[in-house]
Chain A
């Protein structure tokens, strides 16, 4: 009985989650005439005109390119920097007992939402001519991500037995060789999970990109989509298509890697 109730409720929840998304997808394949005159959930005649219009009249191609470059560069930088720092915190005794509290202090940066420092970031970027550039976005996102990488990787490194590195060092390899040959391969699953989460957060980030960029040459997909829909207020078909295009990369990505997601989303609170 309880089982049945659970199943029914869960099914209902899935419907509530999926119908709005399905409605957006459906609308994106309707002609604007059908959207306004024929109110139905699903298109009668499917058309790709909204999509072709988007690519013809706006800069969606460029937005994708910018997102791709900014995302991959900042995730790469933060993975390299963050893993090294995390290894240091996980393995060494440091001055002022940093290994005990620095990780948590850095985690605070990850929890701090961008909106609280976005005005200073804008002013500093203005001062150093980093507005409207990939570099500005890459720097900011690297910093946001690195705090998360340190936090995640520290716990992964701590789970690896220290004996393995020591054995390798007794055999004559240096500390960094041991790190590269022994520790990193063992921590690879953690590294992958961390990278995945960093990609999602970076891809989705809106406010910092909105403030730091104002031309299609450097705007990312969320910013591009939002400026688009401000301009085309009543072109519902194009709006829906923009939503679908912005969502597709990240949904595909997430479905491929979904097993690792929950731990990342909860900052490791749930193992």
Chain B
């Protein structure tokens, strides 16, 4: 009787231990299977497709690495890459400088900081498609906000933004700055407010001016947060799509044709899935490298 009870108890314990050993993997399984099916498998499938030639949306044979070679001889790809680089560098630089400047100004609590935070969240959580609509309404040369303002102030006159290449490009940069400077600002503000006070007081006692304190104390201490923010923004800006799709569809000409728009058009407008996949996978490699870098930065942040 007691022996049997002891046996049963022992067995239960052993089973429990067995379950405990596989439990962690059982818990992970659904997530890993989902990622395998929806992320890894399509990527593998896409790599296979990128070696194929498509006619009218159907695979018509293997072309080896031709789709990748074509990237180097396709002037439109080079142009799209150049537009994207210009866009990313310009937009992220402006956002960082404005965001940092604003964060430094507001670092000491202002009377309406709470409401300001509330308002500033709006551009970055509002649907990107809607941001595109907002800016089409701003830039519309016949009824837009800019034309309206000019009419109100000067009595007449239209403002043309989306008709010329360079102004459409700058219009797109302005859209991005409007949408994402608040995020930069909020991240950097949180970063600033988490800094210790002592080094600043010590520097003040030593008689350092505002500019010196900023260069010697603030900037170095803020660097990790700044790095993460810039890296995240760069990846995001590099693959901007929705807003351009609504605002200009890449035009006029190719002046706002970012790499994402060109890749999308190649695959879905011209149904060259092989070449489109090859192009976007190449972009993916760049982004993946940036993402890995970002994760490292975040990891360092999380550890410290």
Bound CA–CA A260/B207 (angstroms): 39
Which of B108, B120, B133, B291 has the most CB atoms of chain A within a 10 A radius of its CB? B133
User: Given known contacts A206-B128, A269-B187, is B34 in contact with A146 (CB within 8 Å)?
Assistant: yes
Q: Which of B45, B194, B232, B287 is the one whose CB lies under 8 Å from A124?
A: B45
Question: Cβ of B268 < 8 Å from any Cβ of A?
Answer: yes
Q: Which of A11, A117, A207, A266 is the one whose CB lies under 8 Å from B232?
A: A266
Return chain B residues, CB-CB under 8 Å to A6. 105-106, 108, 110
Return chain B residues, CB-CB under 8 Å to A116. 239, 280-281, 283-284, 287
Return chain A residues, CB-CB under 8 Å to B264. 115, 118, 207
Give the Cβ gap from B227 to chain A, nearest Cβ, in Å.
10
Question: Cβ of B125 < 8 Å from any Cβ of A?
Answer: yes
Which of A91, A262, A268 has the most CB atoms of chain B within a 10 A radius of its CB? A262
**CB atoms of B137 and A23 under 8 A apart:** yes
Question: Cβ of A177 < 8 Å from any Cβ of B?
Answer: no
Write out, one digit per residue, whether chain B residues 84-116 have a CB within 8 A of any chain A CB (1) or not (0). 000000000000000000100110101111001
Bound CA–CA A112/B235 (angstroms): 8
Return chain A residues, CB-CB under 8 Å to B200. none
Nearest to A249 among chain B residues (CB) is B127
How many residue pairs between the two chains, A and B, have CB atoms under 8 Å in the bound complex? 295
What is the predominant secondary structure among interface residues of chain B facing chain A? helix
Question: Cβ of A82 < 8 Å from any Cβ of B?
Answer: yes
How many chain A residues touch B (CB < 8 A): the figure is: 99
**CB atoms of A87 and B27 under 8 A apart:** yes
What is the predominant secondary structure among interface residues of chain A facing chain B? helix
Q: Which of A94, A242, A246 is the one whose CB lies under 8 Å from B24?
A: A94
Q: Which of B49, B106, B117, B124 is the one whose CB lies under 8 Å from A120?
A: B49
Return chain B residues, CB-CB under 8 Å to A170. none
8 A–B contacts, CB within 8 A, in A order: A13-B102, A24-B137, A27-B143, A40-B152, A119-B277, A120-B43, A123-B273, A222-B128
B interface residue numbers (CB < 8 A to A): 16, 20, 23-25, 27-28, 30-32, 34-35, 37-39, 41-43, 45-46, 49, 102, 105-106, 108, 110-113, 116-130, 132-138, 140, 142-143, 145, 147-148, 151-152, 178, 182-183, 186-187, 190-191, 194, 225, 228-229, 232, 235-236, 238-239, 241-242, 245-246, 260, 263-264, 267-268, 273, 276-277, 280-281, 283-284, 287-288, 291-292, 294-295, 298-299, 301-302
